Amino acid sequence: MNLSSRMVIVLTSVGLISGSFLASVGLLTKERIALNKQRETEAAIVTVVPGTTNSQIVYEEEGFTVYEGKEDNGNLAGFAIYASGTGFQGKITLMYGTDSSMTKIKFLTIIEQRETPGLGSKITDIEAFLRYWENKDMSSSLTLHKPAASSPEELAPTEVNTITGATISSEKVLEIINLSLERLRNLKKEGKLSSEEQDAS
Amino acid sequence: MPAKSIRAEYVKGLWQENPVFRQLLGMCPTLAVTGAVINGIAMGLATSFVLIFSSLVISSIKKLIPSQVRIACYVVIIATFVTMADRFLAAFFLPISKSLGPYVPLIVVNCIILGRQEAFSSKNSVGRSLIDALGMSSGFVLALLILSSIREILGSGTFLGHQVMGAWFKPWLIMIFPSGAFITLGILLACALFIESKAKQRR
C-alpha cells in the first residue's frame, strides 16, 4: 500500500473510532447534563421566589426567561426572571424573583459569573450585595447608590448598593436587571405574560 | 537510551523530569486554575486521565500510524479523551466543571500530553508508556497541589474550603489573582533549581 492511501486510511479510521466513542459518551451524559441544568434552575427559582413548589415558563427568548412560580395550593407565589449579559470579564447569568403582581423585586441570585475573584465576585455575596436588592421598586429603572451604603435602610426603593472596589461589576448587574425590567414592562403592557390566573380573573 | 528500571521510569516524573517544575510544560492550567486546592486537584486528575489513556492508545497503535500524520492522529485521540473528561465532569461533578470552565477543553493543548506522546509513547512499549504517563501525571498533580495549597492558604486562608488560618489573618488577595500564580510559581521554580544545584554539588 502506498503512503498516501495509508495516511488517509489511518486518519479516517482514527477519526471514525474517536467520533463513535464521543457519540456514545455524549448520549450517556446528555440526560444527566440536562437534568443538572434543570435542577440548578429549579433551585434558583425557589431561592428567589420562596414558597414555590411548581414552576413553568411563561415567556422565553434568547438569554431572558420568565418563570411563574406556584405554591403547593396552586396560588401564584411570584415570577422568577432569568437574565444574562456581559460582566466585567465574562458572562453574568442571574435570576431574580418578583411578587405575584410584579411590583417589587423579592430576591436576587447570581447563577454564573466570571468576575475578578475577591472583588467583582462579591456580586454573589449576600451581605455585601444581594440583600440590597430586596423589595426594590420595579416600576422604573434602578440606580446605583455611590459610595457603598452600609445597610439597606440607607437606600431609596429605586436604589441598589455598589460594591466598593467593584463598581463595574455592580453596574453590569444593574444593567442586566434594568434591561430585563424594561422588557418585562413591555411584555406586561402587551399582555404576553398572561398566566392562567390572569385568564381566570 | 539505556533501559531504565520500571521504578526509575515512574519516579523521574515526580522530580527529575517533573512536567511543571523541571520541564515547564502545561503552564496554562498550572497558572490558571490553582487558586483553590479543589480546582487544582480536579485539573490534575482530568489531565492525568487524558495523559494515561492517550499514552495507552498511542503506544499500542504507534506502528500503524505513518509518521507524516502522527501529530494529527495524536491530537484527535487526545481531543477524544478530553471531551470525554469534560462531559463526565459536567454530568457528575457540576460545581467543579463550572469552576474549571474553559480549562477542561483546553487540556487538548496541554504540552505535557502531546509532549509525552511524541517523546515517549511513540517510541516505547505499552507497559513503559503507562508507567511513564503515571509518573508524569503524579508529578503534575503534585505540582498543582503544592501551588494551589500555597495560593489558597495565603489567598483565602482556607484549605479545601476549610478555614485554616486564624481570625488575625488577612487574606492576601493577590494570591488569588493571576499575578499571585506567577509569583508563587516563580518562587517554587527558584526553590526547585536551588535544590537541584545543591544535589548536583553533592554528587
What residues pair up with A59 in beta bridges, in sequence order?
Answer: A66
In a domain? residue B27:
yes
**Chain A residues close to B98, C-beta within 8 Å:** 112
Mark yes or no for CB contact A118/B80 under 8 Å. Answer: no
- Whether the CB-CB separation of A79 and A65 falls below 8 Å is answered with no
Q: How many CA atoms lie within 13 A of A64 on its CB side?
A: 14
Mark yes or no for CB contact A26/B87 under 8 Å. Answer: yes
In a domain? residue B1:
no
Mark yes or no for CB contact B90/A25 under 8 Å. Answer: no
pLDDT-based confidence at residue B53 (cuts at 50, 70, 90): very high
| Full DSSP string of chain B | -PPPPHHHHHHHHHTTT-TTTTS---HHHHHHSTTSHHHHHHHHHHHHHHHHHHHHHHHHHTTTS-GGGHHHHHHHHHHHHHHHHHHHHHHH-HHHHHHHGGGTGGGGG-HHHHHHIIIIITTS-HHHHHHHHHHHHHHHHHHHHHHHHHHHHHHHSEETTEE-S-TTPPP-GGGTSHHHHHHHHHHHHHHHHHHHHHHHHH-
Candidates B39, B84, B154: best to mutate against A (most CBs of A within 10 A) is B84
The shortest C-alpha distance from A120 to chain B (Å) reads 12
Interval B25-46 mean pLDDT: 89
Q: Give the residue numbers in B contacting A (CB under 8 Å), as ranges.
A: 35, 64-66, 68-69, 72-73, 76-77, 79-80, 83-84, 87-88, 90-92, 94, 98, 101, 155, 171, 173, 176-177
pLDDT of A200: 41
Q: Determine which helix (DSSP H) or strand (DSSP E) holds A173, and give its type and residue range.
A: helix A167-190
pLDDT of A126: 85
Give the chain B residue nearest A6 (alpha carbons).
Answer: B66
pLDDT of A195: 54
In a domain? residue B130:
yes
Candidates B64, B70, B87: best to mutate against A (most CBs of A within 10 A) is B87
Segments of chain A scoring below 70 in pLDDT: 194-201
Mark yes or no for CB contact B90/A117 under 8 Å. Answer: no
| Full DSSP string of A133-156 | GTTEE-SS--EEESS--SSGGGS-
Mark yes or no for CB contact B69/A11 under 8 Å. Answer: yes
Q: Determine which helix (DSSP H) or strand (DSSP E) holds A144, and give its type and residue range.
A: strand A143-145
Size of interface A-B (CB pairs under 8 A): 59
Q: Give the residue numbers in A contacting B (CB under 8 Å), as ranges.
A: 3, 6-7, 10-11, 14-15, 18, 21-22, 25-26, 29, 32-33, 36, 40, 112, 114, 116-119
The shortest C-alpha distance from A39 to chain B (Å) reads 11
Mark yes or no for CB contact B77/A29 under 8 Å. Answer: no
ipTM for this prediction: 0.77
E strand map for A43-116: 54-61, 64-70, 76-86, 91-98, 104-112
pTM equals: 0.79
In a domain? residue B39:
yes
Say which residues have a Cβ less than 8 Å from residue A185's Cβ, sequence separation at least 6: A138, A139
Looking at the structure of chain B, the number of domains it has is 1
pLDDT of B35: 85
pLDDT in tens, B119-130: 999 999 999 999
pLDDT of B3: 64
pLDDT in tens, B143-193: 999 999 999 999 888 888 888 888 888 888 888 888 899 999 999 999 999
SS3 B81: helix
**Chain A residues close to B83, C-beta within 8 Å:** 22, 25
Q: Supply the mean pLDDT for chain B.
A: 89
Mark yes or no for CB contact B66/A7 under 8 Å. Answer: yes
In a domain? residue B90:
yes
Which residue segment(s) compose the domain that B113 sits in? Answer: 6-202
In a domain? residue B29:
yes
Helix/strand/coil (H/E/C) assignment for every residue in A26-37: HHHHHHHHHHHH
In a domain? residue B122:
yes
pLDDT in tens, B78-106: 999 999 999 999 899 888 888 887 888 88
Distance, first Cα to last Cα, chain A: 79
Query: For chain A, how big is the Rg over CA atoms in Å?
Result: 22
| B115 pLDDT above the threshold of 70 | yes
